[in-house]
Chains A and B, each alone.
Chain A
Amino acid sequence: MTGPLIDIRGVTKTYLSGSVETPVLHGIDMTVERGDFVSIMGASGSGKSTLMNILGCLDQATGGTYLLDGVDTLSLGRPQLADIRNRTIGFVFQSFNLIKRMSVAENVALPLIYGGMGRGKAQARAMVELERVGLGELGQRTPSQLSGGQQQRVAIARALATDPPLLLADEPTGNLDTQTSDDIMHSFQQLNRERGITIVLVTHEADVAAYSRRLVRLKDGRVLYDGPAADGLRQFTTMPAGVAP
């Protein structure tokens, strides 16, 4: 399919708590082309996580339109949204979000099973993904037996198991030390370049954002900057410039 992978127009989000309305996003316009690598930055409360949740179809926008891969997501019901999360989006979270009771391989196979694949086939496919992130031997361990970096790699393998075109990462290095963060970001860059996977990640670290090609900076629910990452990072002098990849 041609056209941008992500196309959001005038997206607003207002939270209701009781009768008090709290607007978080005030009309965001943003497109992400296939194969792009975008960082979303912003201070706490700028709405970057909310935007991420909407992009990931974990939450629905209050207003505006959101075309994901040409599909109008705001008109879809919950089962269809689940299918989109299954096939079109891979998630990587700050806290890894692996299911502790299951082995590493089972965690990676789970999206495939929800996608309707048989157990044996899904396990085999999961092992392939684990090999790719360099954890082929650890498939039978449980997540708690792995280091943080390893767990995040498992999460990446899980996110990519169904071969989705889009990878969404919410502070993927937030719980990792600098060395491991760099490793993970290198992997992202590799995935973007070699497999052509579109990546959108949320971070508040300039070092991390520096790995991306494009930067979207949010402030109070509005887009403050949208352009090349290097320029964007330079503009904000309070932030140290990232290490060029």
Chain B
Amino acid sequence: MNPIQVLIESFRSMAANRLRTALTMLGIVIGIASVVLLLALGDSMQRFIGKQLQMLGTNMVYIMPGGDRTAAQRAREGKVAVLTRGDAEALNTLPSLTGAAPALQGSFKISAGNENLSSTVLGVTPAMFTIRNWKVDQGTLFGEADVRASARLALIGQKVADQFFYRADPLGRYLRIENVSFQVVGVLAGEGRQPDGTDLSEQIVVPITAASAHLVKSPFPQNVHYINAQGRPNVAMSDAIEDMKEVLRDRHRIRVDDPDDFRIQNLSEIADTANKISAGVALLLGLIGAISLLVGGIGIMNIMLVSVTERTREIGIRMAIGARPNAVLLQFLAEAVVICLAGGLVGIAIAAGGAALITKFADFEVYLTVSGMLIACGFATAVGMFFGFYPARRASRLLPVDCLRYE
């Protein structure tokens, strides 16, 4: 009996019992749909995180003053933990780093013309532009000389430009930050979330010295809020972090036994963890789908057993006219596989619909991969084979004489 004949017979017996076939298929449909959709979701989540990771810049660390102890603890010990521009400059010379840049950050009142709002302003040195790969769409970035001169210059994001200088050229215009005028010299290119939670297009960036003198107005002008540093791609991040610790401990004169008075946060590590969590969640969801597949498979087995019993006489007739046991086995196995595969295809279609819905309404791109669909088809076939085998074997082992006697 050739495979085409086997398939024709399978479709025929499925068609003979449409409602039952459909209900049997349902378990597989739901199982495959959920497995495919959840795998796709997990995939998309990882892609999303990967994209975020790329945006953060690779090998990026945040260094913040303060270490593991609370401010109160440190106060009792009579120590104040701070990071200074000097620290950043020292780190900047480390061979294991591509650069280190200090930053001051705060929320200030911004105004221009009639527009008034409160926004985050970042004070940086040009080193920050390199590390974060910032570029301008229009105008120029400010330079070291501007920092040294505490020049009141500002780089603004596209949204800020739109808001304050709607349709007008913002270059050369003035923004008032805490009632101090800053001249706009450039509009930052790009948008998207930054590691500190702000949007690049909503950013206002000024020289760190100007921020210190006019905005933060700290009595310690050298102090910074944090330092961004980037490890060289060919250096292990852990080595680079060790180097940074050594430099900072040395500069802060921390004794060997004493804890650090700063904290180094490895962003890619955080992203890695997020990645692992999302992979775990995807796996868990996939597992739930797999369980529904299992239940569906048991349904298939159940129905196939009923079908074998119902068709005992037919099996006897087939055997009497020359069907080998293997031909009977193949026929029932093919039926189970065809049901599962058909259910799998319907499931994939439903998953594709689900993915399209999520993409449309959740602002989160989910799409099925070819490999995912192939895996699903393989899975459906495997379920059919696995759960169809026992009933099929049972059918093939029946004795023709017993089958023909069966009423």
Q: Which residues does A use to contact B, with CB under 8 Å?
A: 53, 56, 58-59, 78-79, 82-83, 85-87, 91, 93, 97-99, 101-102, 110-111, 113-116, 118-119, 158-159, 162
Q: Considering the complex, which residues of chain B in the window 255-303 have a beta carbon less than 8 Å from any beta carbon of chain A? A: none
* Other-chain contact of B322, A87, A97, A118, A119 (Cβ < 8 Å): A87
- Please give, as numbers and ranges, the residues of chain B lying within 8 Å of A102 by CB-CB distance: 12
* Other-chain contact of A101, B2, B12, B318, B325 (Cβ < 8 Å): B12
- The winner among B16, B324, B325 for most chain A CB atoms within 10 A is B324
Task: Flag whether B216 is at the interface (Cβ < 8 A).
Answer: no
Q: Is the CB of A115 within 8 A of B320?
A: no
* Other-chain contact of B5, A78, A98, A119 (Cβ < 8 Å): A119
- Please give, as numbers and ranges, the residues of chain A lying within 8 Å of B319 by CB-CB distance: 58, 82, 85
Q: Is the CB of A113 within 8 A of B317?
A: no
- Please give, as numbers and ranges, the residues of chain B lying within 8 Å of A93 by CB-CB distance: 404
Task: Flag whether B400 is at the interface (Cβ < 8 A).
Answer: yes
* Other-chain contact of A162, B5, B316, B322 (Cβ < 8 Å): B322
Cα distance, A239 to B316, chains bound together (Å)? 34
Q: Is the CB of A111 within 8 A of B322?
A: yes
- The winner among B13, B316, B317 for most chain A CB atoms within 10 A is B317
Q: A53-B401, A101-B16 are in contact. Are A110 and B318 (CB under 8 A)?
A: yes
Cβ of B331 to closest chain A Cβ, rounded Å:
11
- Please give, as numbers and ranges, the residues of chain B lying within 8 Å of A99 by CB-CB distance: 314, 317-318
Cα distance, A87 to B323, chains bound together (Å)? 11
Task: Flag whether B399 is at the interface (Cβ < 8 A).
Answer: yes
Interface residues on B, range: 20 to 34
Given A113-B1, A114-B322: 5 more A-B contacts, CB < 8 Å: A58-B399, A59-B399, A97-B313, A114-B324, A119-B4
Q: Is the CB of B321 within 8 A of A114?
A: yes
Cα distance, A113 to B324, chains bound together (Å)? 12
Q: Is the CB of B325 within 8 A of A78?
A: yes
Fill in one digit per residue for B318-354: 1 if any A CB lies within 8 Å of its CB, else 0.
Answer: 1111111111000000000000000000000000000
Cα distance, A78 to B326, chains bound together (Å)? 10
Residue of B nearest to A99 (CB): B314
Residue of A nearest to B4 (CB): A119
Q: A82-B323, A83-B322, A114-B323 are in contact. Are A97 and B317 (CB under 8 A)?
A: yes
Cα distance, A141 to B389, chains bound together (Å)? 33
Q: List 30 A-B contacts (CB under 8 A).
A: A58-B320, A58-B400, A58-B401, A58-B404, A59-B401, A78-B324, A78-B325, A79-B325, A82-B325, A83-B322, A83-B324, A85-B319, A85-B322, A85-B400, A87-B322, A91-B320, A91-B321, A97-B320, A99-B318, A101-B13, A101-B16, A102-B12, A111-B321, A114-B322, A114-B327, A115-B322, A116-B1, A119-B2, A119-B4, A158-B321
